[in-house]
Structures are given as structure tokens and as C-alpha cells.
Structure 1
């Protein structure tokens, strides 16, 4: 009776080391206002990424700027330092839209109507498409993580908050729908993180997240990044 030669099982392949080259774009949330010492969600996310298995390096170019609207970001993306950073990255973080909504409050504070937000949302949608198109032209392959908006006004609006929440939800749903045309991209919701918790999660200015608020944003972001990585 002959013997059957058994081939040794091949050694399991080692997963490729991951090097994250991150460009963070957008407004004061990306800049980290409210927790500048720790660079907000960007700094928190970078630290969490470094602890992930197989991650060998994490580099960050944070180009967030306080007060920027979608129109401001659209102009800046075309500047050499922005375009160079976007081209060099494999991962992009994005927050934009909060200041577009704030402008509606400021311009119509004494006579605020739902139609005012609808008009601004239409304008924002056009610019968001342009921003994402510019990013994709500069870098077709980078994974984009785009944060939705939360409601920092719930303690100020009183009964009017019930009218504003559906407006914000519609704004976020529309932004998510637009973003899906610019894959690979993930929409990161935040409204549920802050709902009924703004006293605990916002900084002293009652608008920007505090360290705990940013940490919650970063944790959700990392969960999405890890999920996306595991599906590759």
C-alpha cells in the first residue's frame, strides 16, 4: 500500500501594513475648535487609528478653518496647498455645512421660516456637489469620510426645536444622497450623538463639541474606517 504525500499547508498570509495619509478638510469642527489642545475629532481619530491592528503609520494634514462655508471650501480646494494635500492622501475627512445653516439663523433671526432653510439647502447642495467633484478630480481613489450635521441649538430654540429637527434631518438626508455619487465615500451621522446631550457634549460656546463630543465623533469615524478596511 503506497503512502499519500501530504503537502504542508501554506503559511497564512500576513495582512499588508496600512499607512494612512489623511487630509482633513472643512470648517471649525475639523480645526477642532472647542478642543484645540487635542485637535478635536481629527486628533482623536488619528490616535485611535494608531492603535488599530496592522496600522503602521498615520500622517495628518489638517486644513480645517473656523467659519468656513461650502463656498469658502470650494475656493480653497483650488489653492495649491489644498490640492497638493488632497492628491497625496489616501483618506479624507470632511466637515462642512454648519456655517451655511448658521447663516440662515443670522440673516432671518427675527422672521425665520422653513423656506429660508430650503433656499439655503438648494444653494449648499450645488456647492457640495462641486466640492466633492473637485476632490474626485484631484484624487479618484481616496476614501472620503463626510460628517453629517448635529443640532447645537436645541437648548435655545425651545418649542421651535420641533420644527427645526425635521429641517436638519432633511438637510442631512439630502447631503448623504449627494455624497453617494462620489464613491468611495462614507457619510458619518452625528445628529443622534448629540441629541438631548448638548449640555454634556458641547464646549463653553454652546456650539462646538467639547473633548467628549469630539471623542464620540472620532469613535464613530474609526468604526466606519475599520468596517470599510475589513471589507476590502
Structure 2
């Protein structure tokens, strides 16, 4: 009997990669996506997670440049990134105080630039590889009762959609998967997903497929 070589998976990001909001000892996004990937690829998947609650896109980009994390990214066949939510949340808090939409615009532009630079860094690490996948997620709306929140999240997500121009890079539509279902998919504090929400996130990312890994 032959066994497939384990695939390496690096999960990079913010509280969504950490799994804030999941029940204690329950798998969150990373663990659920790992299991779905193993089933689809019929191979073991080994995970390395580099994530911090509250991390902005700039924090994540800076972390990716660290030698240990760069090496993990370079050696991984599967990479997921969650980034951008905290940039908009911080700007949203300032907007409520100052009522200045330029704060939201600047935060969105900075986040997209940081995520683009992160993708280019990862692509550079894999310039000799034709067998890896990079999966990002757009932003769901944890504040559906605020029209301004939906407007700016949609603007951000429209920019995120353009990032699929990069090789082997796809963006999962988490916004669409959560729309109208926030009450059942978000944890009681209403910002992070609950167990059901993380399951939907993992399934939505897995539905993007695994080419060219299979």
C-alpha cells in the first residue's frame, strides 16, 4: 500500500484565522478547511498557523516577511489569508467620530495595497513552482443594520475580486455566504463567526477547488 506525501498548509491572518468566536475545543476555519482539503485531495495536510487577533493587513504583511514565516509560505502547497477586516473596523470607528469618509477610503486603499503586496511576496516565493494555491476571503458584514457598513464592505470586496488576476489565486465570497444569515452564523457578540459560521467559511473556500493540486 502506498501513502501520499503530506501537503503543507500555511494559514496566515487575523482573528478569523485564529478562530475567535468558535466554541472551546471546536475546530474553527483552519481546522475545518484542513479536513475538507484532506478529503478532496486524498492526502494528509499538515498545518502551520501564523495569526493574531486584531492584526491589520499591514501587520500581516510585515509578519509574512519574517524568515520563519516566509519559509513556511515558500514550502506550502496550500496558503490561506484572512486580512482587511480590522483595517475597515478601525476606520469605521474613526468615521463614527469624525464623519469623514476619506478615512474609510484611505483604509480601504491601504488594505488592498497591503494585500496585493502580500500576494506578490507569496508569488515571488513560488516563482519556480506550478503546484500551489492561494485562497483569500472577502469580507462579510457583521453590521447589516448599518447601511454605511454594507456600502464600504461592498466597495472593498469589489477591489478584492480583482486580486484573482494573480496566478493560482482565488477569493472566496464569504460576504455572499453570510448575507441575511448573520444571526445564525455569528457568535453572540456579533462580530466573529460561531461554529456554524466557520463551517460555512471553510466550505466556501473549499468550493473554489484545488487546481493545480489535483
The answer on whether the counterparts of 1:31 and 1:39 sit within 8 Å (CA) in structure 2 is no
Find the residue that maps to 2:170 and give its secondary structure. Answer: strand
The answer on whether the counterparts of 2:11 and 2:51 sit within 8 Å (CA) in structure 1 is yes
**Poorly superposed stretches of 4+, deviation over 6 Å:** none
Q: Give deviations 1:85-142, integer Å, cap 9, x for gaps.
A: 1011011011100000011122232233443221211222221221111111222342
Give distance in 1, aligned partners of 2:87 and 2:7.
Answer: 30
Find the residue that maps to 2:11 and give its secondary structure. Answer: strand
The answer on whether the counterparts of 2:94 and 2:103 sit within 8 Å (CA) in structure 1 is no
Find the residue that maps to 1:94 and give its secondary structure. Answer: strand
Shift of 1:39: 3.8
Unmatched runs of 5 consecutive residues or more in structure 1: 1-15
Question: Max radius of gyration: which structure?
Answer: 1
Query: Could you say which residue in structure 2 is the equivalent of 1:50?
Result: 38
Give distance in 2, aligned partners of 1:21 and 1:68.
Answer: 23
The answer on whether the counterparts of 1:38 and 1:44 sit within 8 Å (CA) in structure 2 is no
Query: Could you say which residue in structure 2 is the equivalent of 1:37?
Result: 25
TM-score, normalization by structure 1? 0.82
Q: CA RMSD in A?
A: 2.0
Q: Give deviations 1:165-184, integer Å, cap 9, x for gaps.
A: 2321111111221x223211
Aligned length: 208
Query: Could you say which residue in structure 2 is the equivalent of 1:71?
Result: 58
Shift of 1:41: 0.9
Say yes or no: does 1:144 pair with 2:129: no
Give distance in 2, aligned partners of 1:117 and 1:18.
Answer: 45
Give distance in 2, aligned partners of 1:18 and 1:97.
Answer: 34
Find the residue that maps to 1:196 and give its secondary structure. Answer: coil
Shift of 1:17: 5.0
Say yes or no: does 1:21 pair with 2:8: yes
